[in-house]
């Protein structure tokens, strides 16, 4: 609930941005507050990003971001580490996660926004995910050994000293050892969808991660729906299954300009009544085309996801 006068004033005028408020105020984003520059999907080195949580907050501050969600893969470590820096920078930091899951035999990602970071079920499931990641990484290592690539597991693990090991760390190892010419080739040859290193058997079902998100008081968002490279009808089935499971939003705004051509994500978001998130999926400053916070506005008539998040949890 809104308990302070400043936010009440904001509600009445509906013109104040989040960045004009004091970070110690409680913020109920459902009441008409509008971020000037939101980004609700990015990574730190606690998963497969390059920046430390502190450096990410510095970059967010320089970029004028006022509402940020660090969505590291299956861990809240980056969120907890970034929190004090976000407070000094007057950035509203949303406790968030990017879940790895499966649907119909393929890997899908679900972003959980504004979950209670201390929820016991959530903490338990994140421990399970961490174990699943290690087992899966060992399996990826075994599979790569079969095609003559030695020590990939320990090599990748050394490249992920801060936390969650994933395919990007294997990609860096393959590049470092000269098995591939560039990072992208590592996915194309060994790690991408359907390749030998695309091990996904240990992930929970889509429905489960949506349920855990909701149980922890969060909003479930279907991440980067275009990345799955699905036919229009299969994409429709995925979005329908997600909405039926209790998912409430989808990442529609993922670049500085909205695509004006026919966009099936828009169509299905409307059909299933989903709110819309804005999400760069930023991993590193070295990637020139993926900027933190470089995102278009939520198009009419969609509801921005922050209007469903309520007061930001701590």
Q: Which stretch binds ligand AMP (CB under 6 A): 5-13, 64-72, 145-153, 160-168?
A: 160-168
Q: What is the C-alpha to C-alpha distance for residues 176 and 185, in angstroms, rounded to an integer?
A: 13
Residue 304: beta bridge partners?
Answer: 276
Q: Report, in Å, the least distance between residue 256 CB and ligand AMP.
A: 20
Q: Which two tokens stand for residue 215?
A: 């149980």
Residue 100 binds to ligand AMP (criterion: CB under 6 A): yes
Per-residue binding string, ligand AMP, 59-88, x by CB under 6 A, is --------------x---------------
Comparison of 27 and 283: residue with beta carbon closer to ligand AMP: 283
Comparison of 142 and 314: residue with beta carbon closer to ligand AMP: 142
The strand pair at 106-113 and 96-103 is best described as antiparallel
Comparison of 39 and 281: residue with beta carbon closer to Mn ion: 281
Q: Report, in Å, the least distance between residue 73 CB and ligand AMP.
A: 5
Per-residue binding string, ligand AMP, 282-301, x by CB under 6 A, is -x------------------
Residues in contact with ligand AMP, counted by CB under 6 A, come to a total of: 10
Please answer whether residues 221 and 304 qualify as being in contact, where contact means their C-beta atoms are separated by less than 8 angstroms.
no
Nearest to 25 by CA among 4, 11, 46: 4
Comparison of 34 and 164: residue with beta carbon closer to ligand AMP: 164
Q: Report, in Å, the least distance between residue 60 CB and ligand AMP.
A: 19
Comparison of 7 and 160: residue with beta carbon closer to Mn ion: 160
Q: What is the C-alpha to C-alpha distance for residues 224 and 206, in angstroms, rounded to an integer?
A: 14
Contact with ligand AMP (CB under 6 A) among 103, 187, 190, 268: 187
Partner from ligand AMP, Mn ion, none binding residue 100, C-beta < 5-8 Å depending on class: ligand AMP
Residue 48 binds to ligand AMP (criterion: CB under 6 A): yes
Q: Which residues bind Mn ion (CB under 5 A)?
A: 48, 98, 109, 223, 281
With 0-12 / 13-18 / 19 or more C-beta atoms within 10 angstroms meaning exposed / middle / buried, residue 125 is buried
Residues that bind ligand AMP (CB under 6 A): 48, 73, 100, 166-168, 184, 187, 192, 283
């Amino acid at each position: 609930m809104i308990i302070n006068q400043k936010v009440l004033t904001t509600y009445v005028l509906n013109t104040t941005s989040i960045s004009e408020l004091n970070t110690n105020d409680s913020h109920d984003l459902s009441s008409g507050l509008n971020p000037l520059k939101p980004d609700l999907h990015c990574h730190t080195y606690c998963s497969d990003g390059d920046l430390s949580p502190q450096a990410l907050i510095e970059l967010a501050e320089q970029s004028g971001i006022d509402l940020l969600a660090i969505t590291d893969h299956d861990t809240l470590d980056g969120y907890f580490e970034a929190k004090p820096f976000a407070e000094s920078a007057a950035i509203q930091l949303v406790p968030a996660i990017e879940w790895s899951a499966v649907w119909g035999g393929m890997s899908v990602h679900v972003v959980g926004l504004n979950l209670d970071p201390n929820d016991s079920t959530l903490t338990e499931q994140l421990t399970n995910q961490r174990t699943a990641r290690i087992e899966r990484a060992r399996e990826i290592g075994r599979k790569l050994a079969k095609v003559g690539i030695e020590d990939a597991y320990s090599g990748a693990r050394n490249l992920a000293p801060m936390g969650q090991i994933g395919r990007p760390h294997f990609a860096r190892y393959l590049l470092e050892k000269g098995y591939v010419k560039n990072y992208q080739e590592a996915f194309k040859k060994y790690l991408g969808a359907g390749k030998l290193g695309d091990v996904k058997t240990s992930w929970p079902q889509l429905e489960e991660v949506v349920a855990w998100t909701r149980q922890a008081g969060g909003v479930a968002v279907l991440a980067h729906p275009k990345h799955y490279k699905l036919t229009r009808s299969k994409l429709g089935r995925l979005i329908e299954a997600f909405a039926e499971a209790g998912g409430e939003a989808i990442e529609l705004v993922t670049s500085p300009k909205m695509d004006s051509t026919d966009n099936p994500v828009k169509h299905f978001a409307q059909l299933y009544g989903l709110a819309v998130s804005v999400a760069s999926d930023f991993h590193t400053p070295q990637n020139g085309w993926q900027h933190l916070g470089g995102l278009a506005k939520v198009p009419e008539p969609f509801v921005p996801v922050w209007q469903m998040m309520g007061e930001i949890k701590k």
